[in-house]
Each structure stands twice: as structure tokens, then as C-alpha cells.
């Protein structure tokens, strides 16, 4: 038997292209591909911005994660984080452009500073996408592992945005699909908007990996993470099949739920509700000499709604321009309810003494025929830098620089109102979401757990003009109806007001900056959805998957 003794220096066999040189070659290749990777990351962010309202080119949202994951594939986590940040910044800057004119219009800040603040905000928000890219790159592993790590990381990061570092979960990925076919958002009743995001990212990740696997197979290169002897083309086909299966499952479930819910709605009794959109210019809204004029406009529009059969009339956030509880003009609203027999839900400022001193509140009031002021709800989820300054003394200077920043008190309970429904011998329980509160999935779920079978969202989006913000806000509110399988009535000062049924279909939407009254019979929700019963189970499952993948990564390093 002949025994071949290996040479002492591996370079005698491998030369300069051996294993020792491979990392250096890969690094050179990564640097050469840097412009293409950066272009892919930028395209990912821009496509995602175009998928969001008001452009609403929703199919682009299914491509954006694929481009992002393609750009960071096989990179170390640090450069992957940089490219993720580039993608995030390319998304948030065009999607949140409307903040700059809003800041200029309602603060003492000029255009240069306002644009700088928006750029800073977008830079911070981009760190979330950077975190996703870094997690996928650091955990690494084979194609199949990356395919499941990517949506898990995305879901966890979207959930983090609801509270860290300040609550601002604006336009999560699922928002893009509200303008698309209704079947695509029905999975939100299983896992909230996170379920929609999970499906989109998983499909994108599978397609990105399949493309890379096929390209490497054609080039004759070994596929990262592939078992010895495995067929690259076969593995690529499996990834495409996975993407197709997820899309088929989402569409199939959507069709089934739509047919089931639409049949149930036909058999349901409903409450006739009215939206009153007063279209009060923001510059006039708080002028003392306009208070009676504003109140009279809302009262007249409400009488028209009651004459058309409305039993519930909804006014927007802060439609009443004075402290309703203490002002004797409240008798005019009580009289309206008594003479028309309709219940009123109205937005108004509130004021009361607290142990910390006098505080102002953003409130919703229920006014019932024969009972007058029957209850109120204090807004809980306040707008950062609009109704309070987060992080206390650290940013106290903001309160001095920005006129529009209030110091509002925070409510403590998710109050559920009961509205008589004489036509059907019972009461309808409803939860009122004030403005910004409608963008928080877990928060809205609290009202439904408390018994609400109808959601009312009152808002004032006049601040944002004719920008994309009112369209984005409506789309996010519509997702809450699907998640909880509870219809939503949305009344805003200047639009967009609308009714959203339990399938997410938007009805009777109003134009921006026009006075309007809309009336529709809404059927209260029935059975609680899976999301209502089990909450953010997908978030916890994603956290567990990431923890297991990270543990496996650490074991491999040992």
C-alpha cells in the first residue's frame, strides 16, 4: 500500500487560491460588489415607501424584503447592519416627509431645523431595519435557516417599535397591503399585523435565497450551508415552493374568512351610525370667538344625520373646542341627544386636578338621551413630542422650543361605553380610540378584551394637510378592524373619515378638507379572533426562534 504524505506547507497544493486565501478573496469580492449591494438596499427602501399609502403600490412590498436580504447575503453582521440602515433610511425619509411641513407650520422651528429633525428621526428609525439585517447576517447558517430567521427578526423589531425607545409604530409592513386585495390581510386575525409582515418577509427571504442558490449553482460555486452532495437547483426549487406555499396559504385563508364573515354580516342586525366631519381649519379651531360657530356647525350636521336615521353620531377628536364637563354650553349637546334620541360620542379637551397638579386631558365623551353626560375616556397612548415629551428632564428643552407640544395627563383605563340599541332590544359596547391610539395593535386589543364589539376612532389629521399621513393613518386603523374582527367607525376633523367593516373593507370614505356627513349601518363584532384570544403569540414564537438560532450559532463558534 502506498501512503501519500501531505506536504508541510499547504501552499504546495493549494497555492495562493487555497483555503487560507479564501477569506481574503471573499472580502475582495464583497468590496467589488459594494455598489451593487448598496443599490439593492436603496431600492429596497424606496420600493417599500412606494408600497405605502398614499402611493399604495402594494405589490412592491413583496419585493422590498427580498432586495434587502439579497444585498446583505453572506456579509458579516457589521456591513450588513450598514446596508440595513441604508435601506431603512431610504424607506422612512420618503414615507415620513410630511413631518417637516407639519413641524414648520405648528412650531417656532424653521425649515432647515425641521428638515434636520426629520432626517434625525428617519436615521433613528432606520436602526430598526439595520437590526434586522445584522441579526440575519450574524446568525447566518444555511439558506433555510436564514429564510426563517428574517421574518422572525422583522416581527420582533416591529413589536419593539411600539414601545422602544419611544412608541412610534408608524406604517408597519402590513400597512402596505390594505390597498391590495382583501384576502392578503385576513391573516391579521391570527397574529395581528405581524402575521401579514411575517408572510411578506418569509416570501421575500425565500425568493432571495432561491435566486442566490441558483446563481451559485450555475456558476459552479459551493452553496453556503449546503450539505455535501446536495443539489443546488433542487434546493432552490424547494425555496420557491416554500414561497408559493405561503402565498397560497395566505390567499386561501383570506378567501375562506371573507366568505365566512360576509355571510355572517348579511345575517347580523346593525346599529345605524353617522360620522360628522366638520372641516374646521386648524388655525381657527382654538380661537375663543369661533367656539359658538364651531359648535353650531357640528350640531346642525348632527341633526341632519339624526333625521336620516342615525342612532349613534360620532364627532372627531377635540371637536368640542372647550372644556365640556365645566361649560354650560354642554346643555346644547344634551338637548341634541334628547330631541333626536341618538347617542353622541364627541371629542373634547378635559381638565381636572391631580395629586401632581392641574392637568389637561384629551377626552372622548358619551352623551345619551335622557342621561346627558354618561361617561368619558381619557386618552392613554399619547403622541411623543405632541402631547408629551418623552424621557423627562433629558429633553425638557423641546417643550420650550416647540409651541405645539402639550403636557397632557395620561388616562389609566381602557373604558368601554354602552350605547342603547332600541331597535334590537340591547346595548352595543364600543371602545373609543383617540387619534394615535389606533396604530397600536396590543393597545386596541385591550378594548375588545374588555367587551367592545364596535371600535370608534376619533382623530384630527388637519395638522398634516393633504400629505400621505391621513392615508397612512386610515390604513393602520383598518388593520385593527381585521385583527379584532370588530368594525371601526372613524371620524376626523378634515378627513379621511370612513367606516371599516370586520374584513377591513373601507366604506363611505370622505374627501380631505370638505364638510361631510356619512351614515352606515354597522354590525357589531361577534366571536373573538385568535389574535384577541392569544395576543402577540407570533412575537413570542419569533423571539424563541431567534434565541434558539443564536444559541446554535454560539455552539458552532465553540
In SS3 terms, 110-136 reads as CHHHHHHHHHHHHHHHHHHHHHHHHHH
Asked if 430 and 417 touch (Cβ cutoff 8 Å), the reply is yes
Q: Please indicate, yes or no, if residue 1 is contained in any of the structural domains.
A: no
Residues 192 and 54 in one domain: yes
Determine the Cα–Cα distance for residues 97 and 119; give it in Å rounded to an integer: 9
Does residue 8 surpass a pLDDT of 50?
Answer: no
Which residue, 113, 114, 120, 112, is CA-closest to 99? 114
Does residue 10 surpass a pLDDT of 60?
Answer: no
Residues 161 and 212 in one domain: yes
Does residue 20 surpass a pLDDT of 60?
Answer: no
Q: Please indicate, yes or no, if residue 253 is contained in any of the structural domains.
A: yes
- Active site residue: 122, 158, 387, 435, which one? 435
Q: What is the pTM of this model?
A: 0.91
> Residue 84 — φ and ψ, nearest 5°?
-60, -40
SS3 440: coil
Residue 421's pLDDT is what?
Answer: 83
Q: Please indicate, yes or no, if residue 439 is contained in any of the structural domains.
A: yes
Residues 329 and 456 in one domain: yes
Instruction: Give how many domains the chain has, as a whole number.
Output: 2
Task: Name the packing angle between helices 60-72 and 111-139 (round to 10°).
Answer: 60
Which residue, 326, 286, 278, is CA-closest to 302? 278
Does residue 332 surpass a pLDDT of 60?
Answer: yes
Domain span including residue 486: 271-527
Does residue 26 surpass a pLDDT of 60?
Answer: no
Residues 156 and 252 in one domain: yes
Q: Please indicate, yes or no, if residue 428 is contained in any of the structural domains.
A: yes
Q: How many CB atoms lie within 10 A of CB 105?
A: 15
Residues 284 and 166 in one domain: no
Q: Which residue has the higher pLDDT, 23 or 526?
A: 526
Residue 23's pLDDT band (boundaries 50, 70, 90)? low
Cell of 502: 370586520
Does residue 460 surpass a pLDDT of 70?
Answer: yes
Residue 17's pLDDT is what?
Answer: 46
Which residue, 361, 413, 352, 350, is CA-closest to 387? 361
* Percent above pLDDT 70 for the chain: 87
Q: Which residues of 443-454 are buried (b: 16+ CB within 10 A; e: fewer)?
A: bbbbbbbeebbb
Tallying the residues shown for the chain, one arrives at 558
Pairing of strands 498-500, 488-492: antiparallel
Phi-psi map region of 270: left, alpha, beta (phi>0 left; psi -120 to 50 alpha)? beta
For residues 220-231, give the mean pLDDT: 53
Residues 249 and 331 in one domain: no
Residues 197 and 247 in one domain: yes
CA angle 28, 29, 34 (to 5 degrees): 100
Residues 285 and 427 in one domain: yes
Which residue, 373, 283, 275, is CA-closest to 321? 283
Residue 12's pLDDT is what?
Answer: 40
> Residue 398 — φ and ψ, nearest 5°?
-65, -40
Residue 5's pLDDT is what?
Answer: 47
For residues 135-143, give the mean pLDDT: 93
HSE-up (13 A, CA, CB side) for residue 27: 5
> Tens digits of per-residue pLDDT, 39-67?
999 999 999 999 999 999 999 999 999 99
> Tens digits of per-residue pLDDT, 378-404?
999 999 888 888 876 666 555 555 555
Query: Is residue 435 annotated as a catalytic residue, yes or no?
Result: yes
**What value does the mean pLDDT of the chain take?**
90
Residues 100 and 211 in one domain: yes
Residues 237 and 111 in one domain: yes
Cell of 353: 386636578
For residues 77-105, give the mean pLDDT: 96
For 374, counting Cβ atoms within 10 Å of its Cβ (0-12 exposed, 13-18 middle, 19+ buried), the class is middle
Asked if 354 and 409 touch (Cβ cutoff 8 Å), the reply is yes
Residue 33's pLDDT is what?
Answer: 85
Cell of 403: 409651541
> Residue 142 — φ and ψ, nearest 5°?
-80, 175
> Which residues, at least 6 apart from 102, have a Cβ–Cβ distance to it below 8 Å?
463, 464, 465, 467, 469
Q: Which residue has the higher pLDDT, 374 or 424?
A: 374
- The end-to-end CA distance of the chain, in Å, is 38
Determine the Cα–Cα distance for residues 75 and 492; give it in Å rounded to an integer: 47
Determine the Cα–Cα distance for residues 386 and 394; give it in Å rounded to an integer: 16
For residues 254-274, give the mean pLDDT: 88
Place of cell 350636521: 301
For residues 240-249, give the mean pLDDT: 97
- Active site residue: 317, 363, 387, 483, which one? 317
- Active site residue: 379, 387, 437, 483, which one? 379
Determine the Cα–Cα distance for residues 274 and 271; give it in Å rounded to an integer: 10
Residues 341 and 461 in one domain: yes
Determine the Cα–Cα distance for residues 511 and 514; give it in Å rounded to an integer: 6
Query: Is residue 127 annotated as a catalytic residue, yes or no?
Result: no
Residues 192 and 160 in one domain: yes
Q: Which residue has the higher pLDDT, 205 or 13?
A: 205
CA 46 to each of CA 76, 125, 137, 199, 423: distance values in angstroms, whole numbers, following the listed order: 24, 15, 22, 20, 51
Residue 405's pLDDT is what?
Answer: 57
Amino acid at each position: 500500500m502506498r501512503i501519500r504524505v501531505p506536504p508541510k506547507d499547504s501552499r504546495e497544493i493549494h497555492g495562493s487560491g487555497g483555503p487560507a486565501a479564501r477569506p481574503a478573496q471573499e472580502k475582495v469580492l464583497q468590496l467589488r460588489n459594494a455598489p451593487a449591494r448598496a443599490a439593492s438596499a436603496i431600492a429596497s427602501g424606496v420600493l417599500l415607501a412606494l408600497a405605502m399609502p398614499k402611493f399604495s403600490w402594494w405589490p412592491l412590498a413583496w419585493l422590498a424584503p427580498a432586495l434587502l436580504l439579497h444585498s446583505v447575503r453572506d456579509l458579516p453582521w457589521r456591513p450588513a447592519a450598514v446596508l440595513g440602515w441604508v435601506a431603512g433610511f431610504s424607506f422612512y425619509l420618503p414615507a415620513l416627509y410630511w413631518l417637516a411641513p407639519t413641524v414648520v407650520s405648528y412650531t417656532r422651528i424653521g425649515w432647515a431645523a425641521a428638515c434636520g429633525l426629520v432626517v434625525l428621526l428617519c436615521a433613528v428609525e432606520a436602526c430598526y431595519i439595520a437590526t434586522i439585517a445584522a441579526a440575519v447576517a450574524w446568525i447566518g447558517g444555511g439558506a433555510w435557516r436564514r429564510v426563517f430567521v428574517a421574518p422572525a427578526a422583522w416581527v420582533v423589531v416591529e413589536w419593539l417599535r411600539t414601545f422602544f425607545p419611544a412608541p412610534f409604530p408608524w406604517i408597519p409592513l402590513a400597512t402596505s397591503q390594505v390597498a391590495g386585495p382583501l384576502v392578503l390581510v385576513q391573516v391579521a386575525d391570527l397574529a395581528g399585523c405581524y402575521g401579514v409582515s411575517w408572510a411578506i418577509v418569509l416570501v421575500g427571504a425565500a425568493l432571495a435565497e432561491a435566486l442566490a442558490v441558483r446563481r451559485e449553482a450555475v456558476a459552479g460555486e459551493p452553496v453556503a450551508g449546503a450539505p455535501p452532495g446536495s443539489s443546488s437547483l433542487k434546493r432552490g426549487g424547494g425555496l420557491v415552493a416554500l414561497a408559493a406555499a405561503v402565498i397560497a396559504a395566505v390567499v386561501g385563508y383570506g378567501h375562506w374568512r371573507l366568505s365566512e364573515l360576509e355571510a355572517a354580516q348579511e345575517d347580523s342586525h346593525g346599529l345605524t351610525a353617522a360620522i360628522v366631519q366638520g372641516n374646521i381649519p386648524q388655525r381657527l379651531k382654538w380661537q375663543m370667538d369661533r367656539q359658538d360657530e364651531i359648535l353650531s356647525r357640528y350640531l346642525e350636521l348632527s341633526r341632519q344625520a339624526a333625521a336620516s336615521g342615525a342612532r349613534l353620531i360620532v364627532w372627531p377628536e377635540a371637536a368640542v373646542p372647550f372644556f365640556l364637563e365645566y361649560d354650560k354650553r354642554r346643555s346644547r349637546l344634551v338637548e341634541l341627544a334628547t330631541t333626536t334620541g341618538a347617542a353622541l360620542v364627541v371629542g373634547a379637551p378635559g381638565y381636572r386636578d391631580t395629586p401632581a397638579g392641574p392637568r389637561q386631558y384629551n377626552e372622548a365623551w358619551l352623551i345619551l338621551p335622557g342621561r346627558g353626560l354618561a361617561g368619558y375616556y381619557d386618552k392613554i397612548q399619547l403622541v411623543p413630542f405632541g402631547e408629551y415629551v418623552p424621557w423627562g428632564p433629558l429633553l425638557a428643552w423641546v417643550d420650550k422650543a416647540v409651541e405645539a407640544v402639550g403636557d397632557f395627563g395620561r388616562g389609566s383605563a381602557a373604558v368601554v361605553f354602552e350605547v342603547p340599541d332600541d331597535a334590537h332590544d340591547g346595548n352595543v359596547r364600543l371602545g373609543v380610540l383617540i387619534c394615535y391610539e389606533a396604530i397600536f395593535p396590543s393597545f386596541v386589543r385591550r378594548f375588545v378584551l374588555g367587551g367592545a364589539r364596535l371600535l370608534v376612532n376619533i382623530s384630527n389629521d388637519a395638522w398634516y394637510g393633504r400629505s400621505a399621513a391621513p392615508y397612512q393613518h386610515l390604513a393602520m386603523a383598518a388593520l385593527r378592524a381585521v385583527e379584532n374582527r370588530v368594525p371601526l367607525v372613524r371620524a376626523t376633523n378634515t378627513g379621511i373619515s370612513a367606516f371599516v367593516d370586520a374584513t377591513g373593507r373601507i366604506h363611505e370614505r370622505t374627501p380631505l378638507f370638505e364638510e361631510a356627513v356619512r351614515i352606515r349601518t354597522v354590525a357589531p363584532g361577534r366571536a373573538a379572533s385568535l389574535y384577541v384570544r392569544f395576543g402577540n403569540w407570533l412575537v413570542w414564537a419569533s423571539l424563541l426562534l431567534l434565541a434558539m438560532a443564536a444559541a446554535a450559532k454560539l455552539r458552532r463558534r465553540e
